[in-house]
Amino acid sequence: MPMAMPLLPLFKMLLFFPFFITIISAAKLTTTNSSFSMSFPLTTHSLSTNATAKMLSSSLMLSSRNTKAPSSSSSSSYNLRSTFKYSNVLIVTLPIGTPPQAQQMILDTGSQLSWIQCHNKKAVKPPPPPPTPSFDPSLSSTFSVLPCTHPLCKPQIPDFTLPTSCDQNRLCHYSYFYADGSYAEGNLVREKLTFAPAHSTPPLILGCATYSSDARGILGINRGRLSFSSQAKINKFSYCVPPRQVQPGPAPTGSFYLGNNPHSTGFKYIPMLTFSQSQRMPNLDPLAYTVAMNGIRIGGKRLNISPAVFRPDAGGSGQTMVDSGSEFTYLVSEAYDKVREEVVRIVGPRMKKEYVYGGMADMCFDGRDAGVEIGRLIGEMVFEFEKGVEIVVPKERVLADVGGGVHCIGIGSSDKLGAASNIIGNFHQQNLWVEFDLTNRRVGFGGADCSRLG
């Protein structure tokens, strides 16, 4: 979700905890056993209705392997390839409804409920977000609204619920709040994604937002039962985030797959840490893609941080999650302080005094060439995981250009975020395949030149 902070457009810090809400039940879904391939565009740019519709129709492709209509039983097998433009979030343009209407949604592995912009949307924070096409329910033959009698509108278990209510029309109303203060509210609805006349998802439960703090929707794709991946029976998905564009010019293009990825032969996998719904620790998000990180190296030096710092304790603090919706990486104080201590040791005199970017990142530097100079002095940064798997951040991408001639190391403090978790954001997923294998409960990583895959 977008931050309402200077210099931080479209940045989302997504955590569940008591003020973030999830759903623990979902309606029974029908699925398909038809295997097919599709493609649709992802972009970070605002597009007109005609432009998105044209892009959508021109990029939808079905493979010749199987052109049968999907059945309404068994499990669904998707094989989809798509591209996206990356700046600080990933925006997918999805075909919603029948006939499909192109809707822009932030691809977010850190949240559950997917929602789209419906008519009568209204920005609640100045300045208003740029206009984007909203969904018109009256134009779709497969749209329906959940009534107040639906199970999702009944009281749920505290701290793991979607606060719903009955509106004046006896329809199920929801309000979804995010950690940065942004939110969306409207009605819960059922709608399908129609990729082609004979190929669509079953009806999915979505939010149809009439009030929100962003002009685009969210594609929630975590492990929750109401996430896009769960409802559409997606067993595996992956994406490759290209390096950020430093110089003016077209935004770089990355790749996104639903289903099998032909590049996966070289991936290295680590297991997901999973938790039951009964493990209601106050600082734990049981639906996140949680992994076990072992340590951090800077310039070849392994920092003195216990691996226990990167694992949830008895209260859930220390969880390490992979989140496509967060821009920067966030570390709990025990890890962040060690990283900052090492950076101060190497380049402390060059740091921008009393400056905190976005309220959470305070390792920043002035100067147009600071990103190159400071990165060269610091060296590469490495996040270590189980089984020898590593995320290697080259010295050229240790710092992020945050505007105004300021460059910051792409790591923020979880304490300043008001959280107790470690979050691997998309800034540290550049030039890296990240695969979420839901069937085998594992996360895969594979180095790549992501800008050349689109």
Output the domain CATH number for residue 332: 2.40.70.10
Residue 300 predicted with pLDDT over 60: yes
- pLDDT grade, residue 108 (50/70/90)? very high
423 or 179: whose pLDDT is higher?
423
Q: What is the pLDDT of residue 91?
A: 81
Q: Which of 157, 191, 142, 151 is nearest to 172 (CA)?
A: 151
Domain assignment present for residue 369? The answer is yes
Burial of 358 (0-12, 13-18, 19+ CB in 10 A): buried
- C-alpha distance from residue 122 to each of 8, 67, 164, 215 (Å): 21, 41, 20, 8
- 215 falls in which pLDDT band (50, 70, 90)? confident
Residue 110 covered by a domain: yes
Q: What is the pLDDT of residue 13?
A: 39
Q: Are residues 328 and 440 in the same domain?
A: yes
Calculate mean pLDDT across residues 139-151. 93
Please state, in angstroms and as integers, the Cα–Cα distance from residue 39 to each residue in 45, 92, 231, 253, 343, following that order: 18, 11, 20, 14, 43
Give the C-alpha separation, 422 to 194, whole Å.
Answer: 36
Whether 296 and 364 share a structural domain: yes
Q: Could you tell me if 269 and 382 lie in one domain?
A: yes
Residue 104 lies in a domain: yes
In a domain, 156, yes or no: yes
Domain presence at residue 375 = yes
* Dihedral over alpha carbons 5, 423, 283, 187 (to 10 degrees): 60
262-289 per-position pLDDT tens digit:
999 999 999 999 987 677 788 999 999 9
Output DSSP code: residue 187: E
Backbone phi and psi for residue 354, each to the nearest 5 degrees, phi listed first? 50, 45
Residue type, 395: K
* Same domain? 313 vs 420: yes
The whole-angstrom separation of Cα 44 and Cα 452 is 18
Q: Which of 57-66, 205-214, 318-327 has the highest mean pLDDT?
A: 318-327
Q: How far apart are CA 402 and CA 409, in angstroms?
A: 10
Q: What's the Rg (C-alpha) of the chain? A: 21
**Mean pLDDT rounded to a whole number for the chain:** 79
Contact 207, 176 (CB under 8 A): yes
Return the pLDDT at 423.
96
Residue 271, Cβ neighbours under 10 Å: how many?
16
pLDDT of 340 above 90 = yes
Question: Is the Cα torsion angle 264, 265, 270, 271 positive or negative in sign?
Answer: positive
- Looking at the fold, whether 195 and 328 belong to one and the same domain comes out as no
* Higher-pLDDT residue of 41, 311: 311
Residue position matching structure tokens 């293009």: 253
Q: What total number of domains does the chain contain?
A: 2
* Shared domain check, 224 and 269: no
d(Cα 415, Cα 426) in Å, to the nearest integer?
20
Q: At what angle do helices 370-378 and 333-347 cross, to 10 degrees?
A: 100
pLDDT exceeds cutoff 70 at 71: no
Residue % of the chain over a pLDDT of 70: 75
At 156 the pLDDT is 66
So what's the pLDDT on residue 454?
A: 56
Q: What pTM value is reported for the model?
A: 0.82
Of 54-63, 178-187, 206-215, 323-332, the one with minimum mean pLDDT is 54-63
Does 292 share its domain with 435?
Answer: yes
Residues 310 and 439 in one domain: yes
Contact 91, 85 (CB under 8 A): yes
Q: Which tokens in the block code for residue 85?
A: 């433009």
Q: Which domain, by its residues, includes 397? A: 263-447
pLDDT at 24: 28
Q: Same structural domain for residues 205 and 291? A: no
